[in-house]
Amino acid sequence: MNRLLVWILFACVLIGIVAIFIPYLTIPETTYSDSPSTLETIIEGKHYILTQGSQKYEFDLVDPEDAPDPIRTHVILGFNIMNETKTYAPTYAGDAITCTNCHFSAGNTLGGANNGISLVGASTWYPSYSKRDQRVITLQDRIRNCFERSLNGKPPADNALEMIALIAYLDWISHNVKGIKQMPWRGLVPLTSKHTPEKDNGAAYYQKYCSMCHGYEGEGIEENPPLWGENAFNDGAGMNDLDKLSAFIYLNMPYTRAPFLSEEQSLDVAAFIISQPRPTFKK
């Protein structure tokens, strides 16, 4: 009898101990979503420390030139396509826009002010469900979307050399962040202001802060891409969405200096740009 009691007691203590540790076993899942991420950069924006709850990741952004021999040719071609889409992917590109115009430094940045839309980690984000397409899409599908909408161009097939090169390039710039579950630099986060956009104010801000580079008619000047008109992104592009365009402008424009438009001004300019004519997305 006594022995039985001892066993029961022992079992209770054991269960108690296990119960105490259960929360610790699940900590990575539960804490990183509610605790904010902090991202520190050291050594010329190449070496990063990302802290999320109790998780700490350290990684470098990689140089396309450092890709090893077996993949190097493809990585470099992908990098060139990102930077000069029309020259290196003439069959699929639109006339005036390159991937880098939105994904600055060929997407090899961690977003934030003036760093454009990051693609570091893109290889780990797909396949995934796309609300716009209402189905699970691959990374190749997502790239085709940007060709057809953002560049108003044509979609390369999975086995096209240009596609293989872009995938190799994105794999290469993603390989150091593979273990990170939630990457805070991904995507354009909508602004929080509840301001109702005024496109007439936006037109005035556009002429004052943007037209010297993008042209009075949004047509683009040399390296500065068009924002509307026949050579611009089409009406099916992510940039034609008020949330995304205003967030992009707020963080990234005017281009050569620290961005200074308020959230409200960014919303006004974005509404003005979206109200202008552009190609229609044909599907």
Q: Does residue number 168 form part of the binding site for ligand HEC (CB under 6 A)?
A: no
Report the largest interatomic distance among the alpha carbons of the chain, rounded to a whole angstrom.
Answer: 93
Among 74, 199, 214, 278, binds ligand HEC (CB under 6 A): 214
Q: Does residue number 248 form part of the binding site for ligand HEC (CB under 6 A)?
A: yes
User: How far from the centroid of its chain's Cα atoms is residue 27's Cα?
Assistant: 27
Nearer to ligand HEC, 67 or 173 (CB): 173
User: Do residues 163 and 170 make contact, with C-beta atoms less than 8 angstroms apart?
Assistant: no
Q: Does residue number 186 form part of the binding site for ligand HEC (CB under 6 A)?
A: yes
Nearer to ligand HEC, 103 or 199 (CB): 103
Q: Does residue number 130 form part of the binding site for ligand HEC (CB under 6 A)?
A: no
| Minimum gap (Å) between residue 119 Cβ and ligand HEC | 5
Long-range contacts of 2-9 (CB under 8 A, 24+ apart): none
d(CA 262, CA 165): 39
Number of neighbouring beta carbons within 10 Å of residue 213: 17
Through-space distance between the first and last CA atoms of the chain, rounded to whole angstroms:
79
Among 91, 159, 192, 256, binds ligand HEC (CB under 6 A): 256
d(CA 60, CA 43): 10
Q: Interface residues with ligand HEC (CB under 6 A)?
A: 85, 97, 99-104, 117, 119, 122, 125, 142-143, 146-147, 150-151, 166, 186-188, 209-210, 212-214, 223-225, 227, 233, 237-239, 244, 248-249, 253-256, 261, 269
